[in-house]
Amino acid sequence: MFATPAYAQAAGAAATGGTQAMLLQFLPLVALVVLFYFLMIRPQQKRMKLHQAMLAALKRGDQVVLSSGLMGKVVRVEDKEVGVEIATGVTVKVVKAMISDVRAKGEPAPANDAKA
């Protein structure tokens, strides 16, 4: 019988266990990618779909809140732009994507609003 050198035996053992060790090193990375997908990417996609549906359902007379905080009433709806009346006789043209919230026509006024 021939005696194999110690380094040859170690190399043979490392070759069989090396694939397993590499998979175990990548497992946490794969887990982080999956976790990132479910905690960050998927909810953002849902919010985008809801926002696009809200903009598609936009119609004349809706009360809207712009991303800058301005509130107004929609007077004209076009493909990519919307005419919003922010004061009596003051109409501004707004890009649809800048509308952050659409409030219904019949939404009740806050209790602290005094109407004269």
pLDDT in tens, 93-112: 999 999 999 987 645 555 56
Tens digit of each residue's pLDDT (9 = 90 or more) over 11-47: 555 555 788 888 889 999 999 999 999 999 999 999 9
b/e 73-84 (16+ beta carbons within 10 angstroms → b)? bbeeeeeeebbb
pLDDT at 1 over 60: no
Structure confidence at residue 23 (pLDDT)? 86
Given the DSSP bridges, would you call strands 90-95 and 81-87 parallel, antiparallel or unpaired? antiparallel
Quick check: pTM over 0.75?
Answer: no
Structure confidence at residue 71 (pLDDT)? 95
